[in-house]
Amino acid sequence: MVFATKLVGDILSFDELNDSTISLMDIDDQRLEQTTRVAKAMVHNEGLNATIEATTDRVEALEGADYVLNMVNVGGTEPFENEIRIPETYGVKQSIGDTIGPGGVFRGLRTIPTMLDIANDMEAVCPDALLLNYTNPMSILCGTMFKATDIETVGLCHSVPHTAKAIADYIDIPQTEIDYWVAGVNHVAWFLEATHQGQSIYPALREAMKDPDIYERDTVRFEMMKHFDYFPTESSHHMSEYVPYFRTDEDVIKRMRGTDSAERMATGTYLEGWKRRSAERDDPNLSVDLENVSVDRSEEYASRLIHSIETDTQRRLNLNVSNKTAAIQNLPEDACVEVPVLVDSTGLRPCSVGELPIQIAAFCQQHTTVHRLTIEGALENDRTKVHQAIKHDPLTAAECTLDEIHEMTNELIVANTDYLPELS
């Protein structure tokens, strides 16, 4: 509800787009009604010519679409709870668990069938539409679409601009004055270059890290930069799940909590927050001040991407795309990579990054292996590949033996059978 209305506001903030027809679709009547009320209030309050439609019929919503924005959650609370709490009993302490690790793999498995259904509907009623995916696990879902469908798909994530904002804050310069070159895979991408007035900001960032107050705000990312030279794009509490160093010892978890990430470093913090927010949004007495709803433009990429294509305004955005053009030469061709992409009326053109430095490419290679095994496991109904995907997860492997991982994966499959592809 919150994210959808943010993206609607972003689209309507452009003069060239504010007469669009925006069709909102959800399987939840109440949430759909709330979102529609806010979107219509934006149009009314700003005096725009946009048309807001709402339906619970996905095919009806997709009919004739030019762009499809996807932000679904499949399965609700039960599988999410299983994906966090079952691994926790084996010592795998996930803070978010939506993109990698046991949580990310199983979220991918339960979401892939819905993604393929969406693709089938799009192929029937809007085959030329561009699918803008916001749903996690980003790399697994986009990789599935690249491999199994003909729908043009791009993945969008705000971690790069959020990180640029954080870096600018740490070294006390305006975010708009930082120029950067970022690449990797979603949530494990790296600021390969970052400059201010032609000079690298890395010396200033390393100096800022020496200030305890600044270090405590982003402990894990500063540690990764300290040991591997480059600043990663995902927040400390989330980054801690992607590597084997920070979540296997309770003392280390406490030490890495810092200030900004204190509660977020805890196991299951996203699950608990998600349940709380869901309850609030499902409250029938939820009220919204519709008279003061206005159109504002956020940092999200979707509206900028659409505006660039529609108006031939060239922009460079960090997007999740297929590596078939070898944008990152030392990652597999069939990987989903997050790289700079030039966008204008001709479409999307990924920039060539060359090879990632080997010390950070290694992290991306680990995760692309997990992604590929998960995708193949889902598409081929191959239980063995699902097991192998989780056995390759760095955090899980740091905590468990192979037999323990096998047992945990079996337990997750049994608990979540109703939400998964039929694994043989």
CB count, 10 Å around CB of 416? 20
Cross-strand pairs, 341: 317, 350
- Inter-helix orientation angle 302-311/2-12, to 10°: 30
Joined tokens for residue 197: 């007035």
List the catalytic residues. Answer: 158
Q: To which residue do tokens 């009623």 refer?
A: 125
Angle between helices 77-89 and 101-125 (to 10 degrees): 150
**Alpha-carbon distance 140 to 100, whole Å?**
9
| Closest C-alpha to 53, from 62, 304, 67 | 62
CA 336-338-341 angle, to 5 degrees, is 110
DSSP 314-374: -EEEEEEEEGGG-SBTTS-TTSEEEEEEEEETTEEEEPP-BPPPHHHHHHHHHHHHHHHHH
Task: Please give the Cα distance from 164 to 7 (Å, whole number).
Answer: 21
Q: How far is CA 136 from the centre of its chain?
A: 5
Q: What span, in angstroms and rounded, lies between the C-alpha atoms of 287 and 103?
A: 33
* 254 φψ region: left (φ > 0), alpha (ψ -120 to 50), beta (else): alpha
Q: Which helix (H) or strand (E) holds 396?
A: helix 394-399
